[in-house]
Chain A
Amino acid sequence: MELSQYGELFLSESREHVSAINHLLLALEQDAGSRETVEGVFRAVHTIKGMSATMGYRAVADLAHEMEDLLDRIRHGRVQAGGEVVDLLFAAADALERAIEAAVDEGDEEPDLSKLLAALRAAAAGGSADASGVAVPSGPEAAAGASPATDGGAGEDEEGDEVAGLLAVRFRVSADSMLAGVRAFMAVKRAREFGEVSELRPAETDFQLPEFDGAVRLALRTDADPDEVRAAIASVGEIAGAEAGPYRLRRALPEAQGDGGAAAADELGTARTDGAPSRARNIRVDLRRLDALMNQVGELVIVRDRLRQLAPGGTPELVESVDQAGRLIGELQDEIVRARMAPVWQVFDRFPRLVRDAARSLGKQVDFVIEGKEIELDRSMLDEIGDPLVHLLRNSLDHGIEPPAERKAKGKAETGTLRLSASRERSRVIIRVEDDGRGIQRERVLAKAVSSGLIRPDEAQALTPEEVDRLITRAGFSTAETVTDVSGRGVGLDVVATRVRALGGMLDIHSEPGRGTTFTLQLPLTLAIVRALLVRLGEETYALPLTHVGETTHLEPDDVRLVKGRTVALLRDEVIPLLSLRTLLGSGGEARPRADGRRPAVVLEVGDLRVGVEVDRLMGQQEIVVKSFDQTAGTLRLFSGATILSDGRPALILDAGSVVAGERAAEAPAL
């Protein structure tokens, strides 16, 4: 059977399960006695085992098998899920993830897991040795929890896709069988005569346990007729019922708890913080397909704009048809943008583990709270925000949250709170990283900024607290006295700020000494298509994403003044710095003055900084498809990408953050 086509499916589904495992292990760490949690981990591991065995990924299946064994002992109370055991399971989950990636990426060598496998076996065995002293839960309730009949094993979901050459088999040993375990063993042995047995539940070694209720399910790799298999198993004797049918891949089922609740929470921008990721009833689409679709639609949008320019000269019918086509293209674009949206939990879900590990290595106690994980973002954006968020979280753990003793001395709870939240505000997504730590230590920031030459001492005196806070996002700034492996070496928040700007978003900082710091990321919903203002400079057109365009204006000659050698614009009651795009880009030539002497300008807003930029002409707004281009060594670092205009020519997209960066550096406190 050709299995490679299932590789992608296997990978994405396995990743979800690994993510769930990490989550549940964190929960298990909090509540070692939670049988439900152990069952959850067991099920996820079990599913991975079944899938990887089907795919022939030996290393993954073996590892999952050992994990399953250990988990099985935990759920039967024969091994306690203490710190060491949970740590081992965490390590195994990591290894499992790596093994999965390596297996799918065929070029990769199979990781050597022998040590880990041995450790898992030892942990499982260690528990069974003193099992005699541990009470084994029994009775109907416990049996129901552990019963293979209730926990959705091999291929029972009726709606999944059939897997050729694989049968889902289940049978139940008669209740009056004297040795049900032996009977089950014999039935499995009979099944093995048809082909390879996998996903055996319960494990063969568990047939002899008192809890074994006689129900068995397994996956059987065979081309034999299901009826033949069923008859053979029934002929073992003392089998009350046997079934064999096509094996179906399990589908992600919608969460039992009403989606309505999650949706309502979504509206409020706060969703549940607990438990495993909820899953929608979805099909999986290769992201490259979506990218290709998005590109095609991008081209269509360009053609639409060109048609709209041409149409007014045509017949009314043509104008109307172009109009209609334009609307349809717009709707198509919306649909595809929506299809590309994915909930932020796909990124957030790996953070609890990361925060736990980082907090532990820093000796800090942290309650990590995630809110709004159902908020959706474009897939391409999701892929990009992971690293900046990791950095912000680590920064908060490293510099924000104080060690327990220090917190206690300050009269704070020893355990700090780190909150990661997502919410939707009109066409933007807001992501906040909020800690209740010591806040930004402005004296230290200033001292550092002065000593590293970022600002002059006299400038330092004049900075507002907010301006001081912003210094930490400046290139080359880092207050960490010692380089820790948590915040990393030589990478500052400036990298985060730059990255966020490159995504068309912005990063704000709010800090209160002793109370904590909040980093706020504002992001556009999608990277691929943005609304932009087009401006003209000589023969060239440049695009400015509207995210950072505050307003456009035509300045009267009187509105432009020279203050202390710098050009400023009077905008109503406001005085803002005024830059010239021509000067910024080093283009030659002179703007041809307009007949009325007014000067067109764009007001860029980045954070709370407003800067005017003078251009030759304002060309109006348009949706543009953001594309990358290869910069040359000399190219000014002022562009976040390029786009293709309706006349087919490329145009550069100006990055507002970079445009005003020089202004921010030169920002005169007097203004």
Chain B
Amino acid sequence: MSQTVLICDDAIFMRTMIGDILTQAGFQIVGEAETGLQAVEKYRQFKPDLVTMDIVMPDMGGIDAVREIVKEDPSAKILMCSAMGQQALVIEAIQAGARDFVVKPFQPSRVLEAVQRVLG
């Protein structure tokens, strides 16, 4: 059975792109979220094997969403999606419990390497 992924990003473009990379690699996209709140709710709903999380999202930001999710499920495997220049935020997310990060613009190979590390 392929592993399940929840993709959280407020930009459709990004969700699509990540979705494509992961689907091609054999993952099953079980849900998408546009806000942090949605991310928390959908995590509860789907209990996915992997979450990709944008840092800046409306309602609840990605970092707060990480905190919420990890609080409920410490074993949650979350991969942060960041832009350049967000070092401090990424560190904050890692401290909050995210397992790894990828930096936009995405390169498929890097995304997959990071996913492997998170799931490994």
Asked if A178 and B91 make an inter-chain contact with CB atoms under 8 angstroms apart, the answer reads: no
Interface SS, B side: helix
User: Which residues of the other chain, A, contact B101 by a CB distance below 8 angstroms?
Assistant: 179, 182
A235 interfacial by beta-carbon distance below 8 Å: yes
Q: Which of A189, A208, A237 has the most CB of B within 10 A?
A: A237
In Å, the complex CA distance between A344 and B102 comes to 59
User: Which residues of the other chain, B, contact A181 by a CB distance below 8 angstroms?
Assistant: 87, 91
Q: Which residue of A lies closest to B90 (CB)?
A: A182
User: Which residues of the other chain, A, contact B91 by a CB distance below 8 angstroms?
Assistant: 181-182, 185, 208
Tell which of B94, B110, B113, B117 touches A185, judged by Cβ atoms closer than 8 Å.
B94
Interface residues of B in 69-120 (CB under 8 A from A): 82, 84, 86-88, 90-91, 94-95, 100-103, 110, 113-114, 117, 120
Q: Which residue of A lies closest to B84 (CB)?
A: A178
Give 16 pairs: A residue, B residue, CB < 8 Å, sorted on A. A178-B84, A178-B103, A178-B110, A179-B86, A179-B87, A179-B90, A179-B101, A179-B103, A182-B94, A182-B101, A186-B94, A189-B94, A207-B87, A236-B117, A237-B100, A237-B117
Tell which of B82, B88, B94, B120 touches A235, judged by Cβ atoms closer than 8 Å.
B120
In Å, the complex CA distance between A207 and B90 comes to 12
CB of B83, distance to nearest CB on chain A (Å): 10
In Å, the complex CA distance between A258 and B117 comes to 51
Q: Which residues in A have some Cβ–Cβ distance to B below 8 Å? A: 178-179, 181-182, 185-186, 189, 207-208, 235-237
Q: Which residue of B lies closest to A236 (CB)?
A: B117
In Å, the complex CA distance between A185 and B88 comes to 10
Q: Which residue of A lies closest to B94 (CB)?
A: A186
In Å, the complex CA distance between A208 and B84 comes to 12
In Å, the complex CA distance between A186 and B118 comes to 12
User: Which residues of the other chain, B, contact A185 by a CB distance below 8 angstroms?
Assistant: 91, 94
Q: Which of A179, A208, A235 has the most CB of B within 10 A?
A: A179
Tell which of A178, A186, A208 touches B88, judged by Cβ atoms closer than 8 Å.
A208
In Å, the complex CA distance between A186 and B94 comes to 7
In Å, the complex CA distance between A656 and B21 comes to 96
Q: Which residue of A lies closest to B95 (CB)?
A: A189
CB of B96, distance to nearest CB on chain A (Å): 12
User: Which residues of the other chain, A, contact B110 by a CB distance below 8 angstroms?
Assistant: 178
User: Which residues of the other chain, B, contact A179 by a CB distance below 8 angstroms?
Assistant: 82, 84, 86-87, 90, 101, 103
Q: A182-B87, A237-B117 are in contact. List 6 more A-B contacts (CB 8 A).
A: A178-B84, A178-B103, A178-B110, A179-B84, A185-B94, A186-B100
User: Which residues of the other chain, B, contact A182 by a CB distance below 8 angstroms?
Assistant: 87, 90-91, 94, 101
The answer to whether residues A237 and B82 also contact, given A179-B101, A182-B101 and a CB cut-off of 8 A, is no
